[in-house]
Structure 1
Amino acid sequence: MKKRMALLMTGVLAVASLAGCGGSKTSATTAAPETTKETQTTAAAKQDGGKLTMSWWGNQVRNERTQAALDLYAEKNPGITIEGQFSEWSDYWNKLATSAAGQSIPDIVQMDYMYIDQYVKNDLLVDLKPYIDDKTLDVSNITENTMATGTVEGGVYAICAGINSPAMMYNKTLLDQNGITVKDYLTIDEFEELCRQIYKKTGYKTSIVYGTAQTYLDYFMRAYDVVLFGDKKMGGTKESYIPFFEMYTRGLKEGWLIDPGVFAEISVGSVEQDPMVYGSSPDTMSWCAFANSNQLTAIQKAAPEGVTVGMTTWPSPDPKKSGYLKSSQFFSIGAHTKNAEEAVKVLNFLVNSSDANNILLGERGVPASSKIAEELSPKMDPINQEIIRYINEVITPNSSPINPPQPDGASEVFNLLNQVQEQLCYGAYDAATAAEEFYNGANKIMSQK
């Protein structure tokens, strides 16, 4: 019960922050069976019918393409139906935690790097290794490094759904009209000077990850060789975090940072309501959005008619040191499934089928399967060709390994970060106070885990 409540709170805290196994374990979360192939196959034999569920977070483009791919699988496999359950990021983890607590986690779930460790340790995901060993799940065209991101304590609990990288989207049309260019690998000083220039010429302000700051903080601190989480403590010192918060205080003081009140009127984390594409005037809109490379398609679709969206690296004190490639998200099998074998076959279809990927078209990122990526490349529209170019030519030559998955307590730390950010942006804290409040509070959280 203690673990179950801990996981449920993890989901609730994830919503508040708006944000990504070998050996035997005894779960206090649920009475989930051991996730061996034999027990799951036995359970499948008792199943009444062939109905599966799959849950994911995303935008309208992802929703439509994913459901179409699932419908194609059902068409090819009479007797199987797959119910798609999709949410925006702000709701997804709360719903997933609630279903996990009720022993009804969906058969197939979209999983994030931020939470995989917690779900594995609570016995909520199926170990896919037996299905890989018997070739039900083909990973022969996925690199060892990519497979490692879904591996926990010797078990394989997640398969990469796409490869991407942090990317700053921007209103290229607006900037072109005003003779402003954006280069890759902007330092913080260069980024802030660009923000001043854009504000002076156009009136458009800048949005720097309000309410979902955790990923950007992690990226930013890599420039200082600080890994965000240590062993039951935070990396760095409280002074290490001052430069991150100073960006916000300078932007507010100089007028180019978007007012935090704008975010009270929109759904934070929604592509369609991001200030770069949604708003009534330059004063409530941003010229840029901190996103991921695989979101270019959705942001371009959400942008006002006639606006072309550009893409570059996130600004950092040392942007080449900060950069990394990551699994945009994963596909996993929920431990409560009554038909693990069929669920794995669906997963294999999404990862390895040419027909499925001709529908999905890399919306979740560059396909993990090198074979599928090579097949899709010439079929891609210009937007997806740009995503591939960005990954291959901009990020790959100047990236380093991603930091380890966040440990227990990370969701609470990120919730604290967003609370501190809010206080800072409303003027209650200066940068030094914000850094101290965050660092001390985060260390207290981690020391209790």
Structure 2
Amino acid sequence: MKKRIALLMAAVMAAASLSGCGGGNTATTADTAAGSAADTTKAATGNESGDLKLTMCWWGNQVRNEKTQAALDLYTEQNPGTVIEGQFSEWSDYWNKLATSAAGQAIPDIVQMDYSFIDQYVKNGLLEDLTPYIKDGTLDVSNISENTMASGTVNGGVYAVCAGINAPSLLYNKTLLDKNGIVVKDYMTTDEFIDLCREVYKKTGYKTNIAYYNAGAYLDYFMRGNDVVLYGDKKMGGEEKDYLPFFQMYETGIKEGWFIDPGVFAELSIGSVEQEPLVYGSSPETMSWCAFYNSNQLTAMQKAAPEGMEIGITTWPSADPKKSGYLKSSQFFSVGAHSKNPKEAVKVINFLTNSSDANNILLGERGVPASSVIAKELAPKMSDVEQKVIHYVNEVVTPNCSPINPPQPDGASEVSNLLNQVQEQLCYGVYDAETAAEEFYNGANSIMSKK
């Protein structure tokens, strides 16, 4: 067991150093110091006054820290005799600390968990199965969709409850398109999207950026539309020919002129909202009418947009957008397997998930609340842009999507890097679509076979 934990620590530390999932959720130096000072070895024990003590850890920015601590304070106020110690850190430090506490069998009672790591933590016996607490009513998930619950389920057990919902989202320059009489529909097929790209280019001169050099998530989505799960057991899903249509989409845009010149990105920070060609650039030649992001990034994109530009939101295109579409948790709440009072920890998660009072404090900072009831309650209290995100997640994606794929296996980050390199060669004209599909498929299988 100790050897398995040591391997987990190494894997988590490596993954955390490469991941961008928490890049925008950084804590101050003081926050990190406070998190470091927390004594995780006293988790779920009684203090000198005889109160029940729980610990909860999370990563986040100062806004999240303040809101979460305020919600926990409210819980302890409403539940005399319970004390909750909050521990918070910057993203990469968080995973290092959590792996260390896991090795010492002192993992906190309540853990903020990420989709990338759930499988590893469950396999190493570090998270509590919440199924019994759902069955006995301690944890109410009746207002959470099946697809959302599926994202926290591993091997039939529920090990995590969604703390906020995201969905893949095509963000677009609604002002530009409305002005030119161009209509964007939800659930576009790939062919409809390509036709739209042609129309936009013909009428406005604006080009299209299809997740240039950041296409891993979109490839996964695209393949789901053709009934292909991207990753198999130490190999890629599907066959080489299944990947050809993805690269043909780029090839078509390059030949017809509507795909953005890759040279535009030479001096940009790829993945930066502020430098995204949707909102950044000096002319239609260097700008894109759309961008491939997640729904929780609409607010930041709208903030970065030039004055007078409204950003719209719709689904990513694929052969079958309803098969491709999924809900993705921005993060989860889990219970540590070492907790001496797991039921009390579950009660806190239930409070954060279902309490109107708690969510009036949290205000969807982690994403659209998993509970449809809470999400509807909060909507009138949020900005117009935030309400647009809630409507998109609940009314557009939720009724027309499929369960998310299993967590990505070891080697996925290397495969994504290979995809970026192949995509670059294709966009610069070094590869045609067939060569790109062959190079990617064979190279990706080589990577996965060694894991």
Q: Measure, in 2, the Cα distance between the counterparts of 1:383 and 1:261.
A: 32
Q: Residues 13 and 412 of structure 1 are in contact (CA less than 8 Å); yes or no, is this contact kept in structure 2?
A: no
Distance verdict in 2 for CA 1:253–1:190, change over 3 Å: same
Distance verdict in 2 for CA 1:304–1:119, change over 3 Å: farther
Determine whether 1:286 maps to 2:319: no
Q: Measure, in 2, the Cα distance between the counterparts of 1:345 and 1:301.
A: 37
> 1:55, CA displacement in angstroms?
0.8
Q: Measure, in 1, the Cα distance between the counterparts of 2:255 and 2:11.
A: 36
Distance verdict in 2 for CA 1:281–1:116, change over 3 Å: farther
- Equivalent position SS for 1:82: strand
Q: Measure, in 1, the Cα distance between the counterparts of 2:62 and 2:19.
A: 27
Higher RCO (CA 8 Å, separation ≥ 6 residues): 1
Determine whether 1:223 maps to 2:221: no
Distance verdict in 2 for CA 1:18–1:373, change over 3 Å: closer
Alignment partner for residue 67 of structure 2, among 60, 66, 69? 69
Distance verdict in 2 for CA 1:272–1:138, change over 3 Å: farther
Q: Measure, in 1, the Cα distance between the counterparts of 2:431 and 2:8.
A: 30
One-letter amino acid matched to 1:45: T
Tell me whether 303-312 or 279-288 shows the greater mean CA deviation. 279-288
- Residue 34 of structure 1 is matched in structure 2 by none
Alignment partner for residue 441 of structure 1, among 433, 440, 443? 443
Alignment partner for residue 55 of structure 1, among 39, 59, 66? 59
Alignment partner for residue 245 of structure 2, among 220, 228, 243? 243
Q: Residues 137 and 344 of structure 1 are in contact (CA less than 8 Å); yes or no, is this contact kept in structure 2?
A: yes
- Equivalent position SS for 1:45: coil
One-letter amino acid matched to 2:222: F
One-letter amino acid matched to 2:65: Q
- Residue 299 of structure 1 is matched in structure 2 by 301
Distance verdict in 2 for CA 1:392–1:253, change over 3 Å: same
> 1:168, CA displacement in angstroms?
0.7
After superposition, give the CA deviation of every residue in 1:226-275 in whole Å (9 maximum; x if it has no partner): 12123332222111101111222332343332333444544433434433
Alignment partner for residue 157 of structure 1, among 148, 156, 159? 159
Q: Measure, in 2, the Cα distance between the counterparts of 1:147 and 1:346.
A: 18
- Equivalent position SS for 2:292: strand
- Aligned residues between the structures: 418
Q: Residues 147 and 404 of structure 2 are in contact (CA less than 8 Å); yes or no, is this contact kept in structure 1?
A: no
Q: Superposed, which structure 2 residues align to 1:316-327 within 5 Å?
A: 316-327=318-329
Alignment partner for residue 89 of structure 2, among 85, 88, 91? 85
> 1:441, CA displacement in angstroms?
2.1
After superposition, give the CA deviation of every residue in 1:15-38 in whole Å (9 maximum; x if it has no partner): 658579xxxxxxxxxxxxxxxxxx
- Equivalent position SS for 1:356: helix
Tell me whether 405-414 or 212-221 shows the greater mean CA deviation. 405-414
Q: Residues 125 and 335 of structure 1 are in contact (CA less than 8 Å); yes or no, is this contact kept in structure 2?
A: yes
Distance verdict in 2 for CA 1:111–1:209, change over 3 Å: farther
- Equivalent position SS for 2:115: coil
> 1:136, CA displacement in angstroms?
6.2
- Residue 407 of structure 1 is matched in structure 2 by 409
RMSD of aligned alpha carbons? 3.8
- Residue 387 of structure 1 is matched in structure 2 by 389
Q: Superposed, which structure 2 residues align to 1:21-420 within 5 Å?
A: 43-45=43-45, 53-56=57-60, 63=61, 65-73=63-71, 75-76=73-74, 77=76, 82=86, 84-86=88-90, 92=91, 95=93, 97-103=95-101, 110-128=112-130, 137-143=139-145, 145-333=147-335, 347-420=349-422
> 1:199, CA displacement in angstroms?
3.1
Q: Measure, in 1, the Cα distance between the counterparts of 2:426 and 2:442.
A: 16
One-letter amino acid matched to 1:407: P
Q: Measure, in 2, the Cα distance between the counterparts of 1:285 and 1:198.
A: 12
Uncovered stretches (5+) of structure 2, i.e. residues with no partner: 23-39, 78-82
Distance verdict in 2 for CA 1:414–1:12, change over 3 Å: farther
TM superposition score normalised by structure 2: 0.76
Distance verdict in 2 for CA 1:371–1:17, change over 3 Å: closer
Tell me whether 158-167 or 407-416 shows the greater mean CA deviation. 407-416
Q: Measure, in 2, the Cα distance between the counterparts of 1:281 and 1:439.
A: 36
- Equivalent position SS for 2:199: helix
Q: Measure, in 2, the Cα distance between the counterparts of 1:118 and 1:140.
A: 27
Percent pairwise identity: 66
After superposition, give the CA deviation of every residue in 1:355-405 in whole Å (9 maximum; x if it has no partner): 332244335444222332342244444334433433444334433333333
Q: Measure, in 1, the Cα distance between the counterparts of 2:198 and 2:322.
A: 23
Distance verdict in 2 for CA 1:231–1:299, change over 3 Å: same
One-letter amino acid matched to 2:356: S
Q: Residues 65 and 360 of structure 1 are in contact (CA less than 8 Å); yes or no, is this contact kept in structure 2?
A: no
- Equivalent position SS for 2:58: strand
Q: Residues 175 and 310 of structure 2 are in contact (CA less than 8 Å); yes or no, is this contact kept in structure 1?
A: yes
> 1:335, CA displacement in angstroms?
6.7
- Equivalent position SS for 2:44: helix
Q: Measure, in 2, the Cα distance between the counterparts of 1:83 and 1:284.
A: 44
Tell me whether 293-302 or 72-81 shows the greater mean CA deviation. 72-81
After superposition, give the CA deviation of every residue in 1:255-306 in whole Å (9 maximum; x if it has no partner): 3323334445444334344332334544443221112233333322332222
Uncovered stretches (5+) of structure 1, i.e. residues with no partner: 21-39, 57-62, 87-91
Q: Residues 18 and 211 of structure 1 are in contact (CA less than 8 Å); yes or no, is this contact kept in structure 2?
A: no
Q: Measure, in 2, the Cα distance between the counterparts of 1:362 and 1:347.
A: 15
- Residue 29 of structure 2 is matched in structure 1 by none
